[in-house]
Amino acid sequence: MSELSKKKCVPCEGGVPPLDLAAATTLKNQLHTRWKLVQDGKALQAAFSFDNYWQTTAFVNAVAWIAHTQDHHPDIRFGYKEATVHYWTHAVDGLTENDFICAAKIDELLA
């Protein structure tokens, strides 16, 4: 279990700068290699593959539960055997530690 996955998201109403690329890269390196910095380092994204639709929807529901309990919500796109999770903190138009905390919690689902 990573240190990030043990943390809890804190409300972000803006008024703070997003993480710079160096800080985002340091946090990303604590995640599974499936996670990538996208949009010039302003967002975090991972693709997931499953054996069937049931597994995919179970995963999406588990991610939704993490979002609900952390009050930090990703964009999720999914199909029959795949899902993509995309995090960025809207209030700062970039990444915060919250994005990486939630990604680490998702990694724990699949550990």
44-76: pLDDT as tens digits: 999 999 999 999 999 999 999 999 999 999 999
Q: Give the pLDDT confidence of 9-42 residue by residue, as tens digits.
A: 988 877 889 999 999 999 999 999 999 999 999 9
d(Cα 18, Cα 37) in Å, to the nearest integer? 14
* Strands 36-38 and 75-78, sheet pairing: unpaired
pTM for the whole structure: 0.94
Contact 34/82 with Cβ under 8 angstroms? no
What is d(CA 34, CA 9) in angstroms, rounded to the nearest whole number? 21
Contacts made by residues 32-41, CB under 8 angstroms, sequence distance 24+ = 32/107, 32/110, 35/103, 37/95, 38/86, 39/88, 41/94, 41/95
Q: How large is the average pLDDT for residues 74-100?
A: 97
Domain architecture of the chain: domains with CATH: 19-109 (3.30.1360.20)
